[in-house]
Chains A and B, each alone.
Chain A
């Protein structure tokens, strides 16, 4: 029998739906739900984790992430402007920094800030304790990545924008600050948000600095609870907690992109 093209396409579509449903049914049937639930979804353990996972762990995760992000954005903007500077030594320093810190593992940099510096300067203390160390430790690396993103964003703003601003009598600095950089930031919001999501997950590295009950964050909290209860449920709860912030974040970005698309 000869089928027309439309009919063939529709048949193929239905076959694929069917295969998918069959596959899902097999998985559901074959899985040992009793054991999975016992290992990953013990309601009493979930309940015991609240409200601490929100009021302490999630709060700290968010604080560490925002601290590192803020430090990284400021550092990255500075490095980006240095890389675009007319003063050659600024360019050299920025390039060297970026190359160096992009090539080092974030964990190593965190050790450096958390342990290396205190050993070298025992009489001094990094302000803010764990928060300060993680913000600086992760921000140093994040800043190197953000510098390249921000530089690309600044260069993506047409040259005529700076010229028009200068023609209106603005100084180079004012023109950059009110005309070029705001446009560059709209361009770099999606990649920077990506960086924020990465940092949200990297904030779990805080455990290497030796966190206390007050400074604990989501991953370490999940792990500690797992140790206490000898059960995997805390990992599921911790995972869902991360998703609860990273997924809305992507939504926010999508909204912002839509709004800025109107102004482009």
Chain B
């Protein structure tokens, strides 16, 4: 479809979103390049979560266009399940699956969506748990974790869906994640990448 030179990872044009009479997003335009780290900051209730939820179509935009990796999300014919696989998201309230262990939280979508075998899914899951420093919690249930630990599981769950996850076997966790785990360890309410 796109033969043009690399498009931004995320491209948003004139995005509007209203909940009934309340207009939350009033024409947002921005781009995020590949490898770029962007922080969206603003007062509580200003629409940060709504913006991120629009990006993977958890909220239907009222108007405007969104592309992710060159694929138009707002196209009515978009293969939404396929595109969402390529978009990681950590929810503000984490939304871990309470009936599954930490390990199963990380493997279920790999197995059902990416069709990875159990052994491979568990290997990827354990690698990602190691990256967020939670190898010892693999068999715990979410309710048995602290808030910060739940957040790290949510991050690891999202990372486990990475297409390149097979290649990622870091001997040491990357710095960014070590910092996250450091910030998270006692209990922290919000981090930049949450939605």
Q: Given the complex of chains A and B, what is the CA–CA distance between A171 and B82 in angstroms?
A: 9
Q: Once bound together, how far apart are the Cα atoms of A260 and B99, in whole Å?
A: 8
Q: Is A48 an interface residue (CB 8 A)?
A: no
- Give the total number of A-B pairs whose CB atoms are below 8 A apart: 65
A263 CB contacts on chain B under 8 angstroms? 98-99, 141, 143
Which residues of chain B have C-beta atoms less than 8 A from A166's C-beta?
58, 81, 84
Q: How far is the CA of A219 from the CA of B143 in the complex (A)?
A: 46
Which one of A15-23, A98-106, A177-185, A230-238 contacts B?
Answer: A177-185
Stretch at the interface among A70-78, A157-165, A205-213: A157-165
Docked-complex contact B95 and A169, CB < 8 angstroms: no
Contact with A along B72-114 (1 / 0, CB 8 A): 0000000001101101010101011111000000001100111
Return the CB mask of A87-116 against B: 1 if under 8 Å, else 0: 000000000000000000000000000000
Q: Would A165 and B109 count as touching, CB distance under 8 A?
A: yes
Docked complex: B104-144 residues within 8 A CB-CB of A: 108-109, 112-114, 141, 143-144
List of A residues within 8 angstroms of B144 by Cβ: 262
A264 interface neighbour in B82, B98, B108, Cβ under 8 Å: B98
Q: How far is the CB of A46 from chain B (nearest CB, A)?
A: 46
Q: A residues within 8 A CB of B141? A: 262-263
Known: A262-B141, A263-B141, A263-B143. A168 touches B98 (CB 8 A): no
The reply on B56 being an interface residue by CB < 8 A is: yes
Q: A204 CA to B139 CA in the complex, in Å?
A: 45
- CB 8 Å contact bits of A182-226 with B (1 = contact, 0 = none): 110010000000000000000000000000000000000000000
User: Smallest Cβ distance from A245 to chain B, in angstroms?
Assistant: 28
Report if A174-B97 is in contact (Cβ < 8 Å); known contacts: A168-B157, A169-B82: no
Give the Cβ gap from B32 to chain A, nearest Cβ, in Å.
18
Of the residues A158, A161, A169, A260, contact of B84 by C-beta under 8 Å: A169
Task: Say whether B82 contacts A167, CB under 8 Å.
Answer: no
Taking CB atoms, residues of chain B closer than 8 Å to A160 are 91, 93, 95
B99–A186 contact, CB under 8 A? yes
Given the known A-B contacts A160-B91, A163-B95, A183-B99, are A168 and B143 also in contact in the complex, defined by CB atoms under 8 Å? no
Question: Does A253 make an interface contact (CB < 8 A)?
Answer: no
Evaluate contact between A170 and B91: CB separation under 8 angstroms: no
Interchain CB contact under 8 A, B89 and A167: yes
Closest to A260 in B: B99
Complex interface bits, B50-62 against A, C-beta within 8 A gives 1, otherwise 0: 0000001010000
- The interface of chain A, by Cβ under 8 A from chain B, is 158, 160-161, 163-171, 174, 178-179, 182-183, 186, 260, 262-264
